[in-house]
Amino acid sequence: MLDTLRHIIQITEEQGHGTAAFNVFGYEDARAVIDAAEALDRPVILMTNKPALAHMPVHLLGGMLIQMAREASVPVGVHLDHADDLEVIEAALQTGYSSVMIDASQLPFEENISRTKYVVEMARDFGAGVEAEIGAVGYSDAPDTYQARYTQPEEAQEFAGRTGVDALAVAVGTVHRMQTQTARLQFGLLERIHKAVNTPLVIRGSSGISDADLKKLVLCGVRKVNLGTTLRMAFGQELRRQIEADEKLFDRIVMFQSCMTQVEKKARQKIEVL
């Protein structure tokens, strides 16, 4: 069933879990994630990011994911991830996304607040939730084009209070697109942020976090954990294995079956860890 960001986080919090949110790029990985969630009877969030929407328009990809969420036997959120274009955000809301993320973290503090408040007001008309970011999580493959910055507890408290967001992404040491689980998290900083903010916290770039630290994040107040690269690696590595094993393979539907199995295994494992 399609569900809201706030309600999904509430469910997992009551169960003592973290909410797993996965970037998906089409039917295959979305189906695998939902299958994993249904097998474990846990809510899950499907996210679409900029590369996904550059490949397929928001109304097409989002429309498919929303229908898949409606047909699922567990609560499934459909979330626009890491958006800085207000037109894309509005299109996602019109399509029926249950939540959106406005990322104005590269803007000055007051501009971030102003832009975020605008999106919160827009989303209310659609009954959708809003996530925003204070501080900034960088990228492993673009360290010089995106300014990373740790979140400060005082600014997180002010930002959450003034914007009224449903979830707040914070920067405590993760980096997007990491292919190894070697992120060094600042748990002391995270605990101070958690004490200062009542809003559910989000950690982005979580593919680079060890499973032990993922568990620790939940204990430190994190309620939503974003994962993407780990699923793409599971899919891509299995696709490569098949092609290298049989040079006559060409039918992607045939090859996608075992790719989906590997994505489901990885998604299930991360949901269980959380």
CB-facing half-sphere around the CA of 53: CA atoms within 13 A: 22
**Binding site feature residues for Zn(2+):** 82, 103, 133, 176
- What CA–CA distance (Å, rounded) separates 107 from 115? 9
Pairing of strands 222-227, 19-23: parallel
For residue 198, count CB atoms less than 10 angstroms from its CB and return exposed for 0-12, middle for 13-18, buried for 19 or more: exposed
- Token readout for 123 is 């989303």
Those residues whose C-beta lies under 8 Å from the C-beta of residue 183, and which sit 6 or more positions away, are 173, 174, 175, 205, 208, 209, 210, 213
**Binding site feature residues:** 82, 103, 133, 176
- What CA–CA distance (Å, rounded) separates 108 from 142? 21
- What CA–CA distance (Å, rounded) separates 50 from 55? 9
Those residues whose C-beta lies under 8 Å from the C-beta of residue 182, and which sit 6 or more positions away, are 208, 210
166 is known as an active-site residue: no
Find the catalytic residue in 3, 35, 41, 81: 81
Catalytic residue positions, numbered: 81
